[in-house]
Structure 1
Amino acid sequence: MPTTAPLLIVGGGQAGLATAHVARSLGLAPVVLEAAGQPVGSWPHYYDSLTLFSPARRSALPGAAFPGDPNGYPARDEVVAYLAEYAAHLDADIRTGHRVEKVVAAEDGDRCGFEVVTAGGDVFATPLVVAATGGFSRPHRPDLPGLPEFTGTVLHSSDYRHPEPFAGKRVMIVGGGNSAVQIAIELAAHARVTLATRHPLRFMAQRVLGVDMHIWLQRTGLDAAGWARPLLTGGTGTPVFDTGTYRDAFAAGNPERRPMFTRLDGDHVVWSDGTRERADVLLLATGYRPGVDCLAELGALDEDGRPRHRGGLSTTHPGLGYVGLEWQRSFASATLRGVAADARHVLTRLRKQQTRAGSPAPSGR
């Protein structure tokens, strides 16, 4: 017999933990299934020098302030420690080492909901599922011309940890987001680095009048305004938050930025003017895709494997929701500071869906 749960949360990182906290405040008793050995999401796998792009005071999950300087920018390991401590004090059934293999519709016609099956063979029956694996669990490797035959080293930014192994090498980085720029700046002190992008880099001031830009975005409402998305992205993706240091480094040519090459040939990149340049390492800072393969059999994904949803509510299956996707509802949706608001939005609406369907809302312990 399956184990029953009023709410099943897939993923125990920042999105899953925030969703569990909100669920408890709504009277639900969630079961959280996390594939890894600890409920800290993807944070341990990011590069060593990574720091948050928003200050600690705006990077806390509900119910627990981020320790340390509230105006500082926490490092990777500080985030890992914070999430581990948060999970330890969360009133929720968190089961680590439980990788969800598939989610299917319940076979019992009299029971609305889902069956969730783990790689270990555990089965859970639940009326509500929230996929909270976030938007950073599956590294994206674009289909670049010549990439399969490239004879140099190919890495994704998820493979990068620190610059020392790249000393003296010629490194080409593909991508123009915050991580791409941060890695390029760090590597430039050890290697010759070029950042190849399809669009010019777009920097946004980290602070305006002494106040962090993330705070301004929240105060003005631009954070969650749908019409503001083109303004914030410029049509080229998330802007790079900068105190001026990054802009100055690129202006000085260390690292350099060039328009995207046309193809790869052996261990060379071929630029748009036909010139060729040898590269020891190709580092793809090309982002991630949601890790929601477990929903494929359910039929909840589009042809590219992305969730079909509106504001985090599945458009294919009542009772199914998402938390932690990029631009799910706002600029901050995939961040520590944005997941709680989206979790509350999704959970309250999932319960309303269930009430309208004629089933009582699931209760807590």
Structure 2
Amino acid sequence: MEHHADLIVIGAGQSGLATAALAPRHGFGRTLVLETADQAGGSWPRYYDSLTLFSPARYSSLPGLRFPGDGDRYPARDEVVEYLRAYARRLDADIRTSTTVTSVLPRDGVWVVRADSGAEFTARAVVAATGAFRSPYTPDVPGQDEFAGQSLHAAGYRGPEPFTGRRVVVVGGGNSAVQIAAELGAIAETTLASRRPIGWMRQRPLGRDIHWWLRRTGFDIAPLSRLLEKAPVSVLDDGRYRTALDTHGVERREMFARLTRDGVVWADGAEEPVDTIVWATGYRFTHPYLNGSGALDAGGRPRHHGGVADVPGLGFAGIEFQRSFSSNTLRGVGRDAAHVLSRLGRSR
């Protein structure tokens, strides 16, 4: 059975919902949103339990709906999930959950979108907004196949309790690695391993949240994507995480050289037994359903300019540094979605 829409959005996370919300402003009539999970919200429900935003609520809204409550607080994961689901309920769009897209291919002037159920949908324009959470990245480290302990990515981490009393190494130098190591340090012997020293950035320089400064200076929306992709990772902190690491004796060490059956070999040659490795090493954007569409390069990376694909009628939303520093954030995805929709609308 075939279903036609003016616009198909793949993914009902923050980027997909923002795209669906803005679609009518850019001349799109019926918008269909296809989501793998059984509810809207994207990857947020699957992040670790203690996750809190590094941006205040006043800088964490999608187009048309203010994030509720005190604008200066830092919302928790579950608040973001509820906000996104409330946002989805307000949309004038057909959101199909439990629908996994398997292919997007051109046919007779339209895009044909197929799902794992066998359902087929068509539209003149498609926006891929599936994010990167489905593709956790773990670096290739010698000895990985030998290690007999527990090895998990941050995507599978929920909370510290199962690791009580264990020897844990958290790998990574970003916000997630620091947050996870800080809470694990309270109940487990924990080390933070990274290739570079932690790049601490004050959450509130000169008494203002960093996001106030980003907006005030225009840096938040500056088209600096190529420079930002190569910039060192920084960790935003109001002091709590750095204090927690110090309080719990969480040491930062240079990345280990290899894994052994029972633990790690540090860069200085010292061997140490380890029970668990937590890889807080980020994600890689992959769009396997776009294979054969002409929208990916030989390495599977999107071919696009600011989210507008190199093939007509196709766009992306939610790519890190897609157009600016704030791309792929709650406050920034709406700007990127509007840019992509305006181009797709003109090409119809």
Using the size of structure 1 for normalisation, the TM-score is 0.91
1:348 equivalent among 317, 342, 348:
342
CA-CA distance at 1:46 after TM superposition: 0.6
Question: Which residue identity does 1:166 align to in structure 2?
Answer: F
Aligned to 1:358: none
2:229–2:321 contact (8 Å) kept in structure 1: no
| Partner SS state of residue 145, structure 2 | helix
| Partner SS state of residue 91, structure 1 | coil
Question: Which residue identity does 1:225 align to in structure 2?
Answer: A
C-alpha distance in 2, partners of 1:188/1:65?
A: 35
| Partner SS state of residue 149, structure 1 | coil
CA-CA distance at 1:159 after TM superposition: 0.8
User: What are the superposed Cα offsets for residues 145-196 of structure 1, whole Å, 9 maximum, x if unpaired?
Assistant: 1112211100100111111111110101111110110000000000011111
Question: 2:279 aligned with 1:284, yes or no?
Answer: yes
Aligned to 2:100: 99
Aligned to 1:235: 231
Question: 2:266 aligned with 1:265, yes or no?
Answer: no
Residues 37-56 of structure 1 mapped to structure 2, 5 A cutoff: 37-56=38-57
C-alpha distance in 2, partners of 1:282/1:344?
A: 40
Aligned to 2:74: 73
Question: Which residue identity does 2:318 align to in structure 1?
Answer: G
C-alpha distance in 1, partners of 2:193/2:295?
A: 35
User: What are the superposed Cα offsets for residues 110-161 of structure 1, whole Å, 9 maximum, x if unpaired?
Assistant: xx23110000111111111100112333211221211122111001001111
1:174–1:283 contact (8 Å) kept in structure 2: yes
Aligned to 2:26: 26
Aligned to 2:323: 329
Aligned to 1:7: 7
Question: Which residue identity does 1:331 align to in structure 2?
Answer: F
Aligned to 1:141: 138
| Partner SS state of residue 257, structure 1 | strand
RMSD: 1.7
C-alpha distance in 1, partners of 2:248/2:270?
A: 19
C-alpha distance in 1, partners of 2:247/2:160?
A: 20
| Partner SS state of residue 215, structure 1 | helix
Change (3 A) 1:178 1:84: same
CA-CA distance at 1:334 after TM superposition: 1.0
| Partner SS state of residue 45, structure 2 | helix
Change (3 A) 1:155 1:144: same
Residues 168-247 of structure 1 mapped to structure 2, 5 A cutoff: 168-227=165-224, 230=227, 235-237=231-233, 239-247=234-242
C-alpha distance in 1, partners of 2:64/2:249?
A: 43
Aligned to 1:129: 126
CA-CA distance at 1:297 after TM superposition: 2.8
Aligned-pair identity in percent equals 55
- What are the ranges of 5 or more consecutive residues in structure 2 without an aligned counterpart? none
C-alpha distance in 2, partners of 1:86/1:56?
A: 15
2:185–2:245 contact (8 Å) kept in structure 1: no
C-alpha distance in 2, partners of 1:36/1:291?
A: 17
Residues 105-124 of structure 1 mapped to structure 2, 5 A cutoff: 105-106=106-107, 108=108, 112-124=109-121
Question: Which residue identity does 2:238 align to in structure 1?
Answer: T
C-alpha distance in 1, partners of 2:169/2:104?
A: 40
Question: Which residue identity does 1:141 align to in structure 2?
Answer: T
CA-CA distance at 1:249 after TM superposition: 4.1
C-alpha distance in 2, partners of 1:170/1:147?
A: 17
Aligned to 1:306: 301
1:6–1:126 contact (8 Å) kept in structure 2: yes
2:181–2:245 contact (8 Å) kept in structure 1: no
CA-CA distance at 1:259 after TM superposition: 0.8
C-alpha distance in 2, partners of 1:228/1:45?
A: 27
Question: Which residue identity does 1:65 align to in structure 2?
Answer: R
When structure 1 is superposed on structure 2, of 296-305 and 177-186 the one drifting more is 296-305
CA-CA distance at 1:68 after TM superposition: 1.3
C-alpha distance in 2, partners of 1:290/1:333?
A: 14
C-alpha distance in 1, partners of 2:225/2:8?
A: 33
C-alpha distance in 2, partners of 1:99/1:299?
A: 20
Aligned to 1:155: 152
When structure 1 is superposed on structure 2, of 139-148 and 149-158 the one drifting more is 139-148
